[in-house]
């Protein structure tokens, strides 16, 4: 695919319709319930969540996160529509949400759930310093297992934050709203 400008911006209410269309491409089986859930938690999620928009204004990627309590961030949903994968969009989205979540001095860790079979996502999380901290058997409705993966603040500060900032500044075809830095 020809290089195209993708802009990463904070999730706002105006994105919710286009976000649902992107969710339908990434999580076709349960996108309706995910979209309803995101609308419910929108006030909690919006300070930590971002969308990647194509030049036409379509949402091509998203990350949705919340703070569960003062100490714990939770990445709930991350996805990039198939045609925009392997261009660094997922990594930039995850970097932005980590910058937001760890900006609060009391956040000591960020965690997420990932299917044990999802090699692409596991590789991305390992690359950004997450480690597998637990296996939960039959976590998903289809009976498959998940890993809980966790990133501690110390790891983030030592070797991930600078790498994230560098990743966000790289890529001539991608502009990011770096308000979190």
Ligand X SMILES: CC(C)(COP(=O)(O)OP(=O)(O)OC[C@H]1O[C@@H](n2cnc3c(N)ncnc32)[C@H](O)[C@@H]1OP(=O)(O)O)[C@@H](O)C(=O)NCCC(=O)NCCS
Residues contributing to the site for ligand X (CB under 6 A): 26, 78-80, 85-91, 114, 118-121, 123-124, 127
**Residue 166 Cβ vs ligand X, minimum distance, rounded to whole Å:** 12
Distance CA 4, CA 60 (A): 12
Give the residue closest to ligand X by C-beta.
90
Triad 135, 90, 82: Cα angle to 5°: 100
Inter-residue contact 164 to 98 (CB < 8 Å): yes
106 or 123: CB nearest ligand X: 123
Nearest to 116 by CA among 75, 147, 74: 147
9 or 124: CB nearest ligand X: 124
**Residue 93 Cβ vs ligand X, minimum distance, rounded to whole Å:** 8
67 or 114: CB nearest ligand X: 114
Distance CA 37, CA 17 (A): 13
102 or 130: CB nearest ligand X: 130
Length of the chain, in residues:
181
Nearest to 128 by CA among 169, 85, 97: 97
**Residue 113 Cβ vs ligand X, minimum distance, rounded to whole Å:** 7
Distance CA 12, CA 154 (A): 30
**Residue 75 Cβ vs ligand X, minimum distance, rounded to whole Å:** 8
The token pair that represents 46 in the structure block: 């919006």
5 or 120: CB nearest ligand X: 120
**Residue 107 Cβ vs ligand X, minimum distance, rounded to whole Å:** 20
User: Distances from the Cα of 45 to the Cαs of 61, 77, 175, in angstroms?
Assistant: 16, 11, 22
């Amino acid at each position: 695919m020809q290089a195209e400008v993708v802009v990463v911006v904070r999730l706002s209410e105006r994105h919710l319709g286009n976000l649902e269309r992107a969710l339908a491409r990434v999580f076709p089986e349960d996108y309706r319930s995910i979209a309803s859930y995101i609308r419910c938690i929108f006030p909690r999620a919006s300070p930590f969540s971002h969308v990647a928009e194509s030049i036409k204004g379509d949402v091509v990627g998203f990350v949705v996160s919340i703070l569960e309590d003062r100490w714990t961030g939770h990445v709930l949903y991350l996805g990039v529509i198939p045609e925009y994968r392997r261009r660094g969009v997922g990594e930039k989205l995850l970097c932005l949400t980590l910058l937001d979540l760890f900006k609060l001095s009391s956040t000591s860790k960020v965690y997420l759930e990932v299917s044990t079979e999802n090699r692409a996502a596991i590789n991305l999380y390992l690359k950004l310093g997450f480690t597998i901290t637990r296996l939960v058997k039959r976590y998903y409705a289809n009976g498959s297992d998940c890993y809980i993966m966790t990133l501690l603040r110390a790891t983030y500060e030592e070797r991930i934050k600078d790498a994230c900032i560098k990743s966000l500044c790289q890529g001539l075809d991608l502009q990011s709203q770096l308000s979190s830095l």
